[in-house]
Structure 1
Amino acid sequence: MRENPQESEMAKPLEHFTHTDPCTDDQLHELVNRALQVAGNAQAFANALSGRLLINLFYEPSTRTRISFETAAKRLGMHVVNISATGSSVEKGESLFDTFDTLQAMQPDFIVVRHRDEGVAEALAERAEPGLHVINAGDGTRAHPTQALLDAVTLQQAFGDLRPLKIAMAGDIRHSRVARSSLALFPRLGVADIRLAGPADFLPTDAERDGVRICRTLDEAIDDADAIIMLRIQKERISGLSIPSDADYHAAWGLTESRLERAAPGCRVLHPGPINRGVEIADSVADGPRSLIRRQVRNGLHTRMALLLELDGHGAYPGV
């Protein structure tokens, strides 16, 4: 019988980070705490991984995630190579696995991969040679584990304790890899009240379970919520569904200042980006005093620094 990693008393050190399931609860809490340590004194970790090589292998567009990994690596003193499908041998017909094997023959320490197909990062991790760490920067609609992790870091930074939080997640949840990773991660960090809301076609069919409920309206979801995570419509992943106009969507599902008044007085607003202003969120909310959106971006840097250190085996951090 295969051992359940969540129940293992002697968890193996992390080799890859393709999704959160293989991690123990202790490892997930440790990653959050390490990221908070980095956020508290990022300069203490300068050049901690000097000489290591990280390759960003991105088959889909990205701003925050790719630049965040690149900046995190450079803050740690690493060399960075960025590769996209456009302009590479992929355009000549080279397969993903051949591209990966070519890159790992150059002996990088980390390969960060983003791909439109689900399960790609896990398949590459199984193919990786010893000493190479594979990190999932988003695969299809399946997972975006570092985004979920940085969102947890941002919430803990803001509230101090995740366990009592009531978290609303609204928008295109069905096609969002961020939502899937968050729904896998947050309960394991102690969150027991998660509300989901969105148009019927944008809601998953398998999400409702203990601690997670589907709400009929955005107002119902955000009522007395401590945190609200807004998600954009994933138009690039939708086929065969009717997408409402921007104005109609905003009227029914957009987070406005008046709607935000239904939430708890100290409620904070998150969005993984990119933001479609005036669609899922109003300008005044995205830029308002309750918004943690820019802090999410900053914590993306700190969280990814902590992850790189953890995968490299840096158990003791300097200066903290």
Structure 2
Amino acid sequence: MERAALPERLYGHIQVDDAVVEIIEALEEQPSGASFCPPHTHVWFEFNYIYEGCMRTGFGGPLLDVGAGQFFVVPPGLEHCHEYEPQAPHRGVCLRWTFARAELPEDGEPAGVRAMLESLRHWRPGCYEDRYGLGERISRLFGEARASVPPASVRLTFVQILLALAAIRDPAGTVAPPAVDLSDAAFLRKIEIYLNDDRAERIDVRRLAASMHVSYNHLARKYKRLTGKTIVGRHTEVRLARALKLLEETDASMANIADIAGFGAAHYFSRVFKEAYGVSPKAYRSAHVYAQADVSAASGPVRESARESDA
């Protein structure tokens, strides 16, 4: 991903009336070669503006198309993800910031700047049209930075962008659909279906998390809370169950079983299997074959005796 940031000297704090704004980052970005940014959250505010091209972004629900002249805002703690077109990357800008209450003199009167910035915490997730001159303000910000305008002036321009954004009421655009809120039962069912999918050559739990619009860490924590198991441990149980079936019902080699069950290397499969069952896969298969033979031998006379008694 290609990124051009404002010079480091322009980052930092600026007090505007009753708010102290910390400018964390201001980037011009073009995600060349990148295709996906998985679900994640931030502790800061983020404002993304697209100048050219298109990307997709989501807030726990279906992804939205974001094109030229459109923008979206990500308040702290809001889970979101992005998709890019690797061969035709968009060109856009990303601004990141936080703010805090300023210490005013006893006779000082709050001017309401902090309240305006605070309102952005409740910004409705979505993709919106720029009918407010935000693009021009952003261009001025980067223009001032390149023209060696004093850092304080550049920071003030940054804050003016935030205030212009906070002043918007009922922005025109597409409000994001509600985030997917899976019930516990549905959550567990989806995981079990995925882990038990025989068609899946390789299980990718992080991709599963992305498909459920949650982070991998959230998926793992919730699964552990609901089941008492780790999702990696459950994944291993499923693979072992698949391997047992193959050992009992086929004459496939250990290498093939390891590959089909999703273990990859045969030596790794053998080690995990022995840790779980106390015997190697080969020993288990041999014991199973002998047991089946004993059952067959024992059942023959029983059937004959039954037929004789019936006669």
Instruction: State whether TM-score is above 0.5.
Output: no
Q: Which has the higher helix share?
A: 2
When the two structures are superposed, what TM-score results if normalisation uses the length of structure 2?
Answer: 0.19
Query: Which protein is bigger by CA-based radius of gyration?
Result: 2
Q: Which has the higher strand share?
A: 2
When the two structures are superposed, what TM-score results if normalisation uses the length of structure 1?
Answer: 0.19
Higher RCO (C-alpha 8 Å, min separation 6): 1
